[in-house]
Amino acid sequence: MTAADSWPGGSATASGRPENRTTLGLPQATSLVLGTIIGVGVFNLPASLAPFGPISLIALGLTTVGAVALALMFASLGRRMPADGGPYAYARAGFGNLAGFMNAWLYWLTTWGGNAAIATGWVLYVERFVNTGHVTAVTILLTLAGIWLAVAINLAGIKRMGQIQLWTSVLKFVPLLLISTVGLAFIDPANFATWNISGKSTVAAIGGAMALCLFSYIGVESASVAAGQVGEPKRNIPRATILGTLAAALVYLLSLVTVFGTVPNNELASSTAPFATAATNMTGASWVGALVAIVVVISGFGALNGWTMLSAEMPRAAARDGLFPAAFERRSRRGVPAVGIIVSGVLATILVLLSHIGATGVAVFNTLILMIGIAAAIPYGFSALAQIKWRIADRRTVARSRLARDVITAAISLIFSMLFVVYSANTSAAGFAVYEPFVYLAGALFLGVPVYLVNRSRMTPPPPPPAAD
């Protein structure tokens, strides 16, 4: 068996036996990337950026450059090493089992913690139609219903999950693109008259706005994480990664221009549903807000569905290599890692309950969300470092143009990852609370120490890095 074949995305499993499973094709893999990037956050992003003004468009543009660099890097790594777990596998191959475990643990935290956050934002739009009085107990039940419906779909098998992911991506992408493009005809140039309203310098305003935009692109790596479920991974992972990221970037950029151009900034700052406000301003009909809410509900559930899959794929990959408990590797009769799906659903449920404890609970939950940004950024950074390390080693066997492209995109990705970490400080708090996300992250890593120690004796040695592609 060659080094390339020993990777989970290759021709055999760790036991040497080929796996028999239904796989995701290019449309489903692309919808996985698109669906995990575009959740519910983008629909509130314009209101969050309103205090900075239209200068936020520059911030989003710079953030998009970083996201595209990440996509190109993961496409290159996915072509070279189509391995289950994506960032985890790259860190393990590049820097050993300890780095691999740390990245797997952190990324797993990103998936189920992110699902709790998505569900909490998703239910706000669901309650436009039910529980309009916002009874707390009903809100909690609706939030948990979203999480566990996604769990049920994933337990039903990869085919069903892929179908839901494809259709939810289509049903949210098309209306978003339509609103964004048609809205360009309704832009009022007066809304761009004051470019920076933050009272800060241009650099500070752009940096502050980037802090909000950075988290909108988490998910560019999702096809590489699910490599074991993607058909023809060397071909489809790179294509899905790039296509999904570019589609999300197109919608992000067009939608932000449209919303800023059709909604006066003072109105935007007070809007709880900026896309609905923009659509109402364009059509003069208030009922379009309900249509926008439906799109957000679809979008949020598509993200829940995709991240639920990833929350099981990462620990499954680590378990197969001996880094996570063996139970996470086993597949159900429907061919899915049921233990990972269920455990991740339980952990997301705990976080949702924590967020409804009261004022203190909400503050803790917001801090956890910032911690999730750091938890995602660290695997991104390790992937970039692995790419740079391998390309430097390849310098005599790889064309200079490809070498330069991959090193530059990896360097940009590394900077992007570092910005994730820097801007994850809780700047809305004061004193020690500013650094709570980092303290929480250290605590989360500490909880992983016993898992690492218990499984250390069964860890298999990392295979050699794959040959240059």
Question: Domains of the chain: which residue ranges?
Answer: 27-458
pLDDT band at 7 (very low <50, low <70, confident <90, very high): very low
Which pLDDT belongs to residue 5? 38
Which pLDDT belongs to residue 22? 58
Residue 127: strand, helix, or coil: coil
Which two tokens mark 264?
A: 């006066």
- For CA atoms 299, 302, 306, 309, give the dihedral sign: positive
Which pLDDT belongs to residue 132? 84
Which pLDDT belongs to residue 11? 34
Assess if CATH 1.20.1740.10 describes domain 27-458: yes
**CA–CA gap between residue 265 and residue 255 (Å, rounded):** 15
Residue 79 in this model has a pLDDT that exceeds 90: no
For residues 164 and 153, the answer to whether their CB atoms sit within 8 Å is yes
Q: Which of 6-10, 36-40, 237-241, 422-426 has the lowest mean pLDDT?
A: 6-10
Which pLDDT belongs to residue 18? 37
Which pLDDT belongs to residue 366? 64
**CA–CA gap between residue 341 and residue 161 (Å, rounded):** 12
Q: Cβ contacts of residue 118 below 8 Å, gap of 6+?
A: 39, 40, 300, 303, 304, 307
pLDDT band at 13 (very low <50, low <70, confident <90, very high): very low
Give the pLDDT confidence of 138-197 residue by residue, as tens digits.
Answer: 989 999 999 999 999 999 988 888 888 888 888 888 878 887 888 888 888 888 888 888
Percent of the chain with pLDDT over 70: 92
Residue 386 in this model has a pLDDT that exceeds 90: yes
Q: Cβ contacts of residue 225 below 8 Å, gap of 6+?
A: 84, 85, 86, 87, 88, 107, 310, 313, 314
Percent of the chain with pLDDT over 90: 28
Residue 10 in this model has a pLDDT that exceeds 70: no
Q: What is the pTM of this model?
A: 0.84
* Bridge partners of residue 230, in order along the sequence: 24
Residue 63 in this model has a pLDDT that exceeds 50: yes
Which pLDDT belongs to residue 196? 85
pLDDT band at 263 (very low <50, low <70, confident <90, very high): confident
